[in-house]
Structure 1
Amino acid sequence: MKILTKIKDNIFSKSLSENATTITVLEKTGNQIYTGPFAGLVIPDILKPSLKLAEALGLYEYALHRFFSDLINKDIKNIMVIGGHKGYYPAGLSNLLRPENMYVFEMDSNFQPLIDSWVEANNLKPYHTFGEASEEILLRWNNKIDFLLIDCEGAEDFLLQPQKFVWQKNTDILVEIHHFYDNKILGNLISRFKNTHDLSIIYDDISENKKIENVLEGLEIKGTFRGHPKHRWIFDKNRNKIITAGIFLYMSVKR
């Protein structure tokens, strides 16, 4: 029992250390995202206790940044995010691209206040918010979507079906691939979209850790963070915690 308690205490102290580092960063940067495509975005007070250090620094999922840069050269007026979570990507994309419509789906209603908090803190155009992205909603969807971002923990196979949800044939898509749930999912999606989209596979950038260390050094902050790949994990079918790797698929409509 004492050994177990000690392990829990160590885990808790590591979590506190990263959070303390994040709070120190925010104090130095004026409570704004420090760099990256979402730089300058004000971080709501409600999110400060749970914000990842990489998010506060603007280096979160650094490998995706060049694909967001690709979007600024396109006429992106309507964005859909399936898996809004705590609102980091809806807010960042809304602030960067200034779409006419931002549609956000999030099944967990507990996240809704967090998603909304970015809108108020940054004076963003209010989102259209939904719960689950059900088959009924996606089948009946009539509004044009220029860009779709999906992070839904293994639901990619259901959500991305261009033969069924035909509007997806004309939509640029960025999806996180949870191959530990389904090792055929990447190949399946490539087969479905290769005739209508130009495809790019994206892998986590391990150098993200070094970039974070360099920024902390520049800010004269001595802190700790979980880093890659410790922040990426899932429960397998036996409820064992396993470390995963980040893989994404970017699908740009053929012009």
Structure 2
Amino acid sequence: MASYLETVREWFRARLDAPGGLSTPEGATLGLRVLAIWRSRIIAGALRDQNGGRVLGGPFAGMAYVEDATEGALAPRLIGTYEDELHPHLAEALAADPEVILDIGCAEGYYAAGLARLAPRARVHAHDTSETAQAACRRMAELNGVADRVQVGGLFQPGDFQAFAGRRCLVIVDIEGAEDDLLRPDLAPALAGMRLIVETHDVYRPGVLDRLQDRFAATHEITVVRAGPKTSPLPELLRNRSHLDQLLAVWEFRAAPTPWLVMIPKPSA
């Protein structure tokens, strides 16, 4: 945490005296974001100290966590509010008894380890292009006793879906815009029979939300899920904190809307 604080200090030193550095609306917004991430990391550290690094609520309550998130905010993951808009859709997907779970863009393994705990008959294939993320995901699986069912790999390409054709498969995708390149039914016909939960990133690939809906409209029932307010009770540590700390504790570091597509194969598919 000390090294991160020094990074924040240097960031502000370089901009405070620079022409227009923090005086423009864009500069001020970026400065607030840097400070908010710093404060969120402090909150996450306090949560770790209190709960021993375990998830407090949500479907993955009790899951042991690695030291830090490799991408995005740690605090909401530890609280259990992270992407809670998806909780009912995850429950529905697990009720379908998947044989295989593909977690593409797995980061440190929040979903890979969490879903492996909840679906003891499923094998999880977790993929990330970051070697740091791959190592953290393996560690997360070990911490939670599911390493024998979580296989961690690197780049996943459209044709790789074909290895899972005909199986009850849940696919979770969060790859910062590259979903536009990966989710190609023309290159991977097996996608027609797979249940998908995809985070979309128009912020990086304008129009990708609409393009994916067009690609899967013939084979899937599609629901667009948008981020909403966090209404779950906060842990005791945060109940008497400032309103700002309570907001930052559940903030997921999103710079722009990233709606999800929940896509369920039609019976004809």
TM-score norm. by structure 2 comes to 0.77
Measured in 2, the distance between the counterparts of 1:49 and 1:151 equals 13
> In the alignment, what sits opposite 1:4?
15
**Contact kept in structure 1, 2:64 and 2:144, CA below 8 Å:** yes
**Contact kept in structure 2, 1:78 and 1:147, CA below 8 Å:** yes
Shift of 1:186: 1.9
**Contact kept in structure 1, 2:134 and 2:153, CA below 8 Å:** no
Aligned length: 240
Structure 1: gaps (5+ residues): 234-243
Measured in 2, the distance between the counterparts of 1:203 and 1:31 equals 29
> In the alignment, what sits opposite 2:102?
80
1:186 to 201, 209, 213: 209
Root mean square deviation of aligned Cα: 3.0
Secondary structure of residue in 2 paired with 1:72? helix
Change (3 A) 1:33 1:231: same
Shift of 1:163: 2.6
Q: Does residue 202 of structure 1 match 2:225?
A: yes
Q: Does residue 131 of structure 1 match 2:150?
A: no
Shift of 1:110: 1.9
Measured in 2, the distance between the counterparts of 1:49 and 1:23 equals 15
**Contact kept in structure 1, 2:105 and 2:174, CA below 8 Å:** yes
1:122 to 133, 136, 144: 144
Secondary structure of residue in 1 paired with 2:132? helix
Q: Does residue 97 of structure 1 match 2:119?
A: yes
Q: Tell which deviates more after alignment, 185-194 or 76-85.
A: 185-194
Change (3 A) 1:190 1:29: same
Q: Does residue 47 of structure 1 match 2:68?
A: yes
**CA distances 1:154-213 after superposition (whole Å, capped 9, x unpaired):** 1112211123201111100000111123332222222221222111000011x12x54xx
Shift of 1:227: 6.3
Secondary structure of residue in 2 paired with 1:215? coil
TM-score norm. by structure 1 comes to 0.81
Q: Does residue 171 of structure 1 match 2:194?
A: yes
Measured in 2, the distance between the counterparts of 1:54 and 1:229 equals 7
> In the alignment, what sits opposite 2:257?
245
Secondary structure of residue in 1 paired with 2:223? strand
Q: Indicate the structure with greater helix content.
A: 2
Q: Does residue 157 of structure 1 match 2:180?
A: yes
Measured in 2, the distance between the counterparts of 1:29 and 1:62 equals 20
> In the alignment, what sits opposite 2:241?
222
Measured in 1, the distance between the counterparts of 2:111 and 2:139 equals 13
Secondary structure of residue in 2 paired with 1:47? coil
Among all aligned residue pairs of Structure 1 and Structure 2, give the percentage whose two residues are the same amino acid.
21
> Looking at both structures, which has the greater relative contact order when contacts are Cα pairs under 8 Å and sequence separation is at least 6?
1
Counterpart residue identity of residue 101, structure 1:
R
Change (3 A) 1:49 1:21: farther
Counterpart residue identity of residue 47, structure 1:
D
Counterpart residue identity of residue 174, structure 1:
I
**Contact kept in structure 2, 1:173 and 1:250, CA below 8 Å:** yes
Structure 2: gaps (5+ residues): 1-11, 23-29
Change (3 A) 1:11 1:162: closer
Change (3 A) 1:247 1:227: farther
Shift of 1:64: 0.8
Secondary structure of residue in 1 paired with 2:234? helix
Measured in 2, the distance between the counterparts of 1:55 and 1:32 equals 9
Measured in 1, the distance between the counterparts of 2:201 and 2:33 equals 26
